[in-house]
């Protein structure tokens, strides 16, 4: 079976999906919804292009849809896909609004369809190896840094742009929503636009996480450190080795991980779900928990 996929959005991430799907023997990009006049040059002649995403959702020749649009559009588009019973892969964050996220979860439970939220670092081989080695070794102590210099988006601030990555990793590893959430703005660096947010998460099992995310780093950061049961692993997507094990006596040791690209693994997971007729909503549930956590961070920031 070749999975027939529709894609809504041909921005930066949309074009990543287009390029990646072109290498997949198990899937074809059947439809694209984009208003970009250049979109036709990015896809093959067999891909039908529409300027209205509603036409794509209504099409009868799709096995699943990928939503790669600004997050302010996600709720309406995913809701329409769920009403059709159309499996969906949606970019992070699931939504920018907690009530919308909860409504989508209720809708998915009433009309079961496979939904995968692309928290991309959950699919990174470095993190997957860290998770496999530390799972069940909690409570965990987690520190994470994520962000870059920019971008400065009109529809989503740095908390919602970068925060979903780090929060998703924490919630996935601990396996619980946080019992306590607080956030504050980090001191500004001179001559740097944007802001970084310091987030504290405390969990009922004794785990705790301290995250710093934002668009005011002098250079890109993607580092996730987790300690549990005397073991410490550092996942750094910018490090050549990606994953290191820290031993107090022997120092740092590189851990071999698969060279597979996270987006390939994400798409493979989605296609496998389509083939098996999955109705798994665990990824959607995590997406809702991430939105809820960021909402609580936002409330904490407003109180300061």
* Strands ordered across the beta sheet of 196-202: 180-185, 196-202, 208-214, 140-149, 216-228, 231-236, 243-247, 251-254
What CATH number is associated with residue 249? 3.30.360.10
pLDDT at position 189:
84
Q: Are residues 102 and 114 in the same domain?
A: yes
Domain that residue 99 falls in: 3-120+263-280
Q: Please indicate, yes or no, if residue 288 is contained in any of the structural domains.
A: no
Same domain for 270 and 219: no
Residues 298 and 160 in one domain: yes
CATH of the domain at 79: 3.40.50.720
Domain match, 155 and 298 both = yes
Question: Is 287 inside a domain boundary?
Answer: no
Q: What is the pLDDT of residue 131?
A: 98
* Domain match, 47 and 181 both: no
95 and 153, same domain (yes or no)? no
- Do 213 and 269 reside in the same domain of the chain? no
Residue 247 and residue 230: Cα distance in Å, rounded?
9
**0.85 exceeded by pTM:** yes
Residues whose CB falls within 8 Å of the CB of residue 3, separated by 6 or more in sequence, listed in order:
26, 27, 28, 63, 64, 271, 274, 275
Convert the pLDDT of each residue in 79-111 to its tens digit.
999 999 999 999 999 999 999 999 999 999 998
Q: Is residue 285 part of a domain?
A: no
The average pLDDT across 219-223 equals: 97
Average pLDDT over residues 244-256: 87
Residue 221 lies in a domain: yes
Q: Say yes or no: 173 and 188 in one domain.
A: yes
Q: How many domains does the chain have?
A: 2
């Amino acid at each position: 079976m070749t999975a027939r996929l529709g894609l809504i959005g041909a921005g930066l991430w949309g074009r990543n999906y287009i390029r990646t799907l072109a290498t997949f023997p198990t899937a074809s990009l059947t439809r694209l919804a984009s208003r970009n006049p250049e979109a036709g040059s990015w896809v093959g002649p067999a891909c039908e292009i529409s300027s209205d995403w509603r036409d794509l959702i209504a099409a009868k020749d799709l096995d699943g849809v990928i939503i790669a649009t600004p997050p302010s559009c996600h709720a309406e588009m995913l809701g329409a896909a769920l009403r059709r019973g159309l499996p969906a892969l949606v970019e992070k964050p699931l939504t920018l609004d907690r009530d919308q996220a909860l409504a989508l979860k209720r809708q998915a439970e009433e009309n079961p369809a496979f939904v995968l939220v692309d928290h991309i670092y959950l699919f990174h081989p470095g993190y997957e190896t860290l998770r496999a080695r530390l799972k069940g070794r909690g409570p965990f102590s987690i520190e994470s840094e994520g962000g870059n210099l920019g971008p400065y988006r009109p529809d989503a601030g740095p908390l919602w742009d970068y925060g979903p990555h780090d929060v998703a990793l924490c919630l996935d590893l601990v396996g619980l929503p946080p019992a306590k959430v607080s956030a504050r703005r980090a001191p500004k660096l001179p001559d740097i636009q944007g802001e970084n947010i310091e987030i504290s998460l405390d969990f009922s099992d004794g785990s705790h996480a301290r995250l710093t995310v934002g668009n005011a780093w002098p250079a890109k950061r993607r580092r996730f450190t987790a300690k549990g049961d005397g073991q410490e692993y550092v996942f750094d997507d910018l490090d050549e080795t990606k994953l290191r094990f820290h031993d107090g006596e022997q120092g740092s040791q590189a851990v071999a991980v698969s060279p597979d690209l996270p987006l390939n693994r994400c798409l493979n997971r989605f296609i496998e779900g389509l083939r098996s007729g999955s109705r798994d909503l665990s990824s959607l549930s995590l997406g809702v928990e991430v939105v809820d956590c960021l909402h609580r961070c936002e409330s904490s920031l407003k109180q300061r």
